[in-house]
Chains A and B, each alone.
Chain A
Amino acid sequence: MLKQWYKSGSPYIWLNAGAIAISMIMVVGLIGLIAVRGLSHFWPAAVIETTYTVPDEEPVRLLGTVRRSETVTATVVREAGFYVPEDQMIVTRHLLQLGNRDITSRDFAWYIGDHMGEWTYPENALVLERMTWGNFYGYLEAILEDGEVVAEGEAAWDELYERVARAVDLRQQILQIERYDIGGIAYQQEQIRLAQRRLELRGEDTPEAMAELEEQHAALQEEYEELDLHRNDLRRQMDRDSVRAETAEGRTVTIAMSDIVRAARPNVMSFGEKIGHYVDSFKEFVFDYPREANTEGGIFPAIFGTVLMVIVMSIIVTPVGVLAAIYLREYARQGPFTRLIRICVNNLAGVPSIVFGVFGLGFFVYFLGGAIDDQFFQAAQPAPTFGRPGLFWASLTLALLTLPVVIVATEEGLSRIPKSVREGSLALGATKAETIWRTVVPMAAPAMMTGLILAVARAAGEVAPLMLVGVVKLAPNLPMDGNFPYLHLDRSFMHLGFHIYDVGFQSPNVEAARPLVYATALTLVLIIIVLNLTAIAIRNRLREKFKSDSD
């Protein structure tokens, strides 16, 4: 009976199904966890108010959002310095986000549930996202314009939303001017300085030539001063309004409108308004630049840097890997030497990635980059141009790292092309090269794409080597902008993987950064998925085109 069952093959089917189920649960669970933790961060959670009474101490009023709740043994809590009655064994505690880091210096804190009074949800609770010092939690009192109260009580809320929107709009304009206009002028001025230096080095620094450049420089300076005036004007406009609010401790504070990013009244907002708020926060996260040592704001530069680096890497690794594989498989005489090369290539895949980073820094950045600087960028010296970590070197290092994957996959694909097809081509008078390029390579293209897919997945997730060869915590400029030559491969850049590490482990405010770590991780996973799906779609189209018996 059992033997019959065994013979029918169903145990293997069950085994396979089980393995797939486990993999699916792991993948879905992982993405689900990251998604829930990361995405819930942008939701305007309810604000609670309660009195916290520790025995023998003054009661205090708390206002904030509950970020986490857990039930732990009393000893753990006692060791953390909290008072818990002797006979109590387990304790429920809540992590509250109180904000107001500038006032109380503790924006996240644990509170014992037993000491808390009743939780209420005050209607005039205000949450402000600020440019500096994190969130503000308090009760809205009034809106001020040039120091004069213009609205109070319920009317103040409408006024608040309107004026925040105005301030945000002005800030966008200022940022636009700073980032693109002033940034562009600074870049052009630097180019002029380099041009002057080049002339000097060549000994062609005739007074006329220098004066002409000087003139251009002065014209740019004038332009800059004009922009600066405009910017200051905008700043003044932004400083016009402010918000007066009371904190939980009863202190009255005034917050400049120019400091506010977003305002919310979570306890009153309708579901639709909350969704609007959510979408807004999420958009900022994806499309904006980071603030506050990366713990707030967006991750756009990191997304951009990651994608650009992967693309540049693909452009480098694909031709090199494919050509190497074609040579190894089609031209090289198979023997101990090719076997040795294959072993080396395979071992290359097993080398820890940080070793590639060290190699990239030593060889690419210092040696090659230094040589390039000496040859082509003398004018900029002693400041390095390519002789410092940057996007190109990072891409090149990752290309080296993923080269084995592409080579192995391509070789695999080439070896699967049936001999009869090659013979058919040769018998028609094609040379070996013609056979390879017209028939074999197109047929092996899907396998090459598979290699590229694996390479992309590996490269997008790699962090360690990048820290040495080009990724930085905060890059002043994107590696691509409106200034000629538009693509600046010498610039250092931001990367999602490194961003996760930086925000998660290097941040001064771990609790505030935690949701961002999840959200960033989710973004990274999604980007890898999108890149892969694109490559898979291309591969399937190629497969369709070169359908053969061997597939």
Chain B
Amino acid sequence: MTKPATDTTSATMENNAREVGSTPERHVPNLTPEFRRDAPKGATTEAIDLSKETPCFQLNALNLHYGSNHALCDVSMMIPHKRITAFIGPSGCGKSSLLRCLNRMNDLIDIAQISGEILLDGQDIYSKNVDVPELRRRIGMVFQKPNPFPKSIYENVAYGLRIQGVRRKSVIDETVERSLRHAALWDEVKDRLKSPAMELSGGQQQRLVIARAIAIEPEVILLDEPCSALDPIATAKVEELMMQLKENYTLVIVTHNMQQAARVGDYCAFMYMGELIEYDTAEVMFQKPSKKQTEDYITGRFG
């Protein structure tokens, strides 16, 4: 299954057209998933095929301009449900920008102009009647730079719940602990939950914002270089977390670490200068990429 990239996109577009036409009642997302730590990893070992996936996001001819800077050019792709899709590409190629389009974070940038279409479960997320805060609650995001709130560690993780109006202390306590455990941070902070989050180290902050994002149990989690400041052990823990989350959530990650993309990614997309160059299963991308650019980048002969 070594189709050229252009074929992939056209194929997914057909796929999408089918989906839009079909009944929209698929995928009632499980809002109260249980994190099964002992989940069998067998799921990933099955042969996977993009054309057989159920789409989560469907991007059609997406263009993004920051003023006169054309940051994303005609990106069309399908991001499958309950899989990990990894984005790779050189710095400044538009990976973060693409991620920010997926939960409408670019709305906040006045000069950002977007055209094309992004469908989430068949619904256009840029249509007028979308409840943006609700959309962002469903699509969690971990930013490239850790951005904890200047509050206590506990309050950082509890923030999303409080926004949703959860008052019960027992519920919040439990969620905070569970989220911190999943983000491999609990042991380090369990004795100082009330101390300011700003006093954590960069890597701890990175895990804290992951915990904060998963505390509200979104359907999709966008992770922008979640391991950039982590040591190998913490990285391994976060990767393990991602493998677990995949059971119930759709994950989209950006990473500069090829091994990581190969290890955790089911699918991998290579971007260059705002364009989607190649998009396929991670296996194909890292073993026999069809584009020379991709191969050069992956093997480090880039530039």
- Asked whether A and B interact, the reply is yes
Partner-B contacts on A (CB < 8 A)? 418-431, 434, 438-439, 443, 546-549
The complex places the Cα of A434 from the Cα of B160 at a distance, in Å, of: 11
Contact B159 A427 (CB under 8 A): no
Contact B150 A420 (CB under 8 A): no
Contact A439 B103 (CB under 8 A): no
Report the minimum CB–CB distance from B59 to chain A (whole Å): 19
Candidates A419, A428, A546; contact of B160 at CB < 8 Å: A428
Which of chain A's residues have a CB closer than 8 A to the CB of B149? Answer: 421, 424-425, 439
Within 8 Å of chain A (Cβ to Cβ): is B286? Answer: no
Of B2-10, B14-22, B70-78, B208-216, which stretch is located at the interface? B208-216
Q: Which of B105, B160, B163, B198 has the most CB of A within 10 A?
A: B163
Instruction: Kindly identify, within residues 170 to 216 of chain B, every residue whose CB is under 8 Å from any CB belonging to chain A.
Output: 196, 198, 209, 212-213, 216
What class of interface size applies to chain B in its complex with A?
A: 20 to 34
Contact A428 B137 (CB under 8 A): yes
The complex places the Cα of A422 from the Cα of B150 at a distance, in Å, of: 11
Contact A427 B136 (CB under 8 A): yes
Of B38-46, B139-147, B256-264, which stretch is located at the interface? B139-147
Which of chain A's residues have a CB closer than 8 A to the CB of B164? Answer: 429
28 contacts between A and B (CB under 8 A): A421-B149, A421-B150, A424-B143, A424-B147, A424-B148, A424-B212, A425-B159, A426-B108, A426-B136, A427-B103, A428-B163, A428-B216, A429-B134, A429-B137, A429-B138, A429-B164, A430-B159, A430-B160, A430-B163, A438-B159, A438-B162, A439-B149, A443-B150, A546-B151, A547-B150, A547-B196, A547-B198, A548-B150
Within 8 Å of chain A (Cβ to Cβ): is B133? Answer: yes
Which residue from chain A places its CB closest to the CB of B215 in the assembled complex? A428
Report the minimum CB–CB distance from A308 to chain B (whole Å): 35
Which residue from chain A places its CB closest to the CB of B209 in the assembled complex? A424
Contact B108 A423 (CB under 8 A): yes
Report the minimum CB–CB distance from B25 to chain A (whole Å): 24
Q: Which of A418, A422, A429 has the most CB of B within 10 A?
A: A429
A-B contacts counted at CB < 8 A amount to 69
Contact A548 B133 (CB under 8 A): no
Known: A427-B105, A428-B163, A428-B212. 10 other contacts (CB 8 A): A420-B143, A423-B147, A425-B149, A425-B159, A428-B140, A428-B160, A429-B133, A429-B136, A429-B163, A547-B150
The complex places the Cα of A542 from the Cα of B150 at a distance, in Å, of: 11
The complex places the Cα of A329 from the Cα of B105 at a distance, in Å, of: 19
Which of chain B's residues have a CB closer than 8 A to the CB of A426? Answer: 105, 108, 133, 136
The complex places the Cα of A421 from the Cα of B209 at a distance, in Å, of: 11
The complex places the Cα of A434 from the Cα of B149 at a distance, in Å, of: 14
Which of chain A's residues have a CB closer than 8 A to the CB of B213? Answer: 427-428
Contact B147 A418 (CB under 8 A): yes
Report the minimum CB–CB distance from B103 to chain A (whole Å): 7
The complex places the Cα of A419 from the Cα of B110 at a distance, in Å, of: 13
Which residue from chain A places its CB closest to the CB of B104 in the assembled complex? A426
Report the minimum CB–CB distance from B106 to chain A (whole Å): 11
Which residue from chain B places its CB closest to the CB of A548 in the assembled complex? B150
Contact A428 B147 (CB under 8 A): no
Q: Which of A424, A427, A429, A548 has the most CB of B within 10 A?
A: A427
Which of chain A's residues have a CB closer than 8 A to the CB of B108? Answer: 419, 422-423, 426
Which of chain B's residues have a CB closer than 8 A to the CB of A421? Answer: 147, 149-150
Which of chain B's residues have a CB closer than 8 A to the CB of A424? Answer: 143, 147-149, 209, 212
Contact B216 A420 (CB under 8 A): no
The complex places the Cα of A438 from the Cα of B159 at a distance, in Å, of: 9
Q: Which 3 A-B pairs have the closest CB atoms?
A: A429-B137, A548-B150, A420-B147
Which of chain A's residues have a CB closer than 8 A to the CB of B196? Answer: 547
The complex places the Cα of A472 from the Cα of B212 at a distance, in Å, of: 59
Report the minimum CB–CB distance from A244 to chain B (whole Å): 75
Contact B140 A427 (CB under 8 A): yes
The complex places the Cα of A233 from the Cα of B216 at a distance, in Å, of: 79
Report the minimum CB–CB distance from B226 to chain A (whole Å): 14
Which of chain B's residues have a CB closer than 8 A to the CB of A428? Answer: 136-137, 140, 159-160, 163, 212-213, 216
Report the minimum CB–CB distance from A399 to chain B (whole Å): 30
Which residue from chain A places its CB closest to the CB of B152 in the assembled complex? A545
The complex places the Cα of A421 from the Cα of B205 at a distance, in Å, of: 13
Which residue from chain A places its CB closest to the CB of B109 in the assembled complex? A419
Report the minimum CB–CB distance from B87 to chain A (whole Å): 18
Which residue from chain B places its CB closest to the CB of A427 in the assembled complex? B141
Report the minimum CB–CB distance from A363 to chain B (whole Å): 38
Contact A423 B163 (CB under 8 A): no
Candidates B134, B143, B150, B160; contact of A423 at CB < 8 Å: B143
Report the minimum CB–CB distance from B224 to chain A (whole Å): 11
Report the minimum CB–CB distance from B192 to chain A (whole Å): 15
Which of chain A's residues have a CB closer than 8 A to the CB of B105? Answer: 423, 426-427
